Amino acid sequence: MAVTLDVPPGVLSRARDAWDDAHDQLSGSVSRLDGVAPAKLSATVTAAVATFLEVWSGEVAVLSRQASANALAFVDLDGDLGASDTAEAARLRSLLPWTYHAAPIQES
């Protein structure tokens, strides 16, 4: 069974570019968070800052990896999207800009 997601030409490459850009921005944020030196701060806030940095650096790193994976989902696609099943087509559709969240999914 083939499943297609009908979107205008260029939508998939723009979605890929947007997710790739999000990955780049999030990666930069991780680098900046990892570059903060809490030891240079006062003793009263060092522990709180270290905890904050650990939690948020990890969370942003996860989001960066997710954005990269989302970009890769669109790498080889154009025009009509061929997906393995309806669930995969719906997942990919959810990664598109909001205006395409209702794009038709058709089984053939």
Question: What are the structural domain ranges in the chain?
Answer: 20-73, 80-108
2-60 per-position pLDDT tens digit: 777 788 878 888 999 999 999 999 999 999 988 888 877 888 888 898 889 989 999 99
pLDDT-based confidence at residue 68 (cuts at 50, 70, 90): very high
This prediction's pTM: 0.77
Residue 72 has pLDDT above 80, yes or no: yes
Predicted pLDDT of residue 91: 87
User: Cα dist. 61→26, 29, 73 in Å?
Assistant: 7, 9, 19
Residue 35 contacts by C-beta under 8 Å, 6 or more apart in sequence?
none
The least confident of 29-33, 54-58, 81-85, 103-107 is 81-85
